[in-house]
Copies of this chain bind each other. A is one copy, B any other.
Amino acid sequence: MSVTKSKFRFLLIQAFSLPDNSRYALRRMQGPKESMLMNYGDVAHLLEDVEWDLHPGAPVPHGNWPVETREEFCLVGASRLPVVRAACESGIHNAIVLLGGGDPGYVESREIGRRFGIPVTACAHAQMHVAGMPCNRFSIIDISEAHNMRMHDLVVSYRFTERCASIRNINFPLPRPPEFNQRPIHAEKERVARGETSEMLETSIEESVAAIEDDGAEVIMLGCSAAYWMQPFLQRRLAEMGWEIPVLEGYSCAIAQAKLMVGLGLDASRLAFPSDSPKKWRRRKPC
């Protein structure tokens, strides 16, 4: 594997880490890297020819629960930047993959990566770019009002408003104090694994069909990383109904995009992400 060895050397960085004892954790915060990467089996084939490390994420600055509001996304995004900067400075990896569905700190991380010539990818950004390849229009199946609006902000700032048919809410918010989550997402996943009916999956199917029939979606993407586990199930169930539509989850898209960019020798454009003392400057920029 000496050839591929030098080709792809990726660092995957989690969005944040929760305290060990948090009752709100949705994934493992330590252990072998494979165990910490949710749904590892779904992306293992893409990591076969990659030398990869996994950073567990900076400690969450706002409490002991996951990220859902804009305030939390901002705080978590800022806490992630030193991790990205340190990774770039280490010189070990040739691409950085930011895990997490709402891309906290992504734009800023690309700016950092740009200075080191290292491409940085993130889940929602990669999904939206991939979504345009097989079709014109995608819908986002997502978990809650607050998270929907984060996805909305990303669609706007990544300039995909014309290609996003809709954001569909299945209303399975992340756990958060003071109330303990009545419908924990990991329980839904386990139900599906046991062959039982999951309300989360059934609602996702229903909203996907509405996205197809009412909104014109030709691809479905999953918004929050806590919903990525549904990808194979949702795609299969829709196909069984006669809707042969691709369903995209973020980890595989972000890894695949990182490979594409390394393969093409690309990172962010210096014109879109200028340094603080650029060699050349432009008098005028259109929007």
Residues of chain A having any CB pair with chain B under 8 Å: 3-4, 45-46, 48-49, 68-71, 73-75, 77-79, 81, 105, 107-108, 111-112, 129-130, 132-137, 144-146, 148-149, 152-153, 155-157, 159-169, 171, 173, 176, 179, 207, 210, 212-219, 241-246, 248, 252-253, 256-257, 259-261, 263-264, 266-287
Contact = CB atoms under 8 A, between A and B. Distances in A.
Given A266-B133, A283-B210, A153 B157 contact: yes
Contacts of A179: 277
Nearest to A142: B285
B244 A155 contact: no
Determine how many copies of this chain the complex contains: 6
Contact of A70 (B108, B244, B261): B108
A286 B243 contact: no
A144 B274 CA distance: 10
A69 B144 CA distance: 32
A74 B77 contact: yes
Contacts of A259: 259-260, 263
Contact of A269 (B107, B135, B285): B135
B136 A276 contact: no
A263 B262 CA distance: 15
Contacts of A256: 260, 263-264
A282 to B, nearest CB: 6
Q: Which of A130, A153, A242, A282 lies at the interface centre, i.e. has the most chain B CB atoms within 10 A of its CB? A: A282
Contacts of A160: 287
A74 B70 contact: no
Name the residue in A146, A215, A266 with the highest tally of chain B Cβ atoms < 10 Å from its Cβ: A266
B135 A272 contact: yes
A79 B260 CA distance: 31
A69 B277 CA distance: 10
A219 B264 CA distance: 13
B286 A145 contact: no
A2 to B, nearest CB: 11
Given A136-B272, A173-B276, A261-B133, A70 B159 contact: no
Contacts of A207: 283
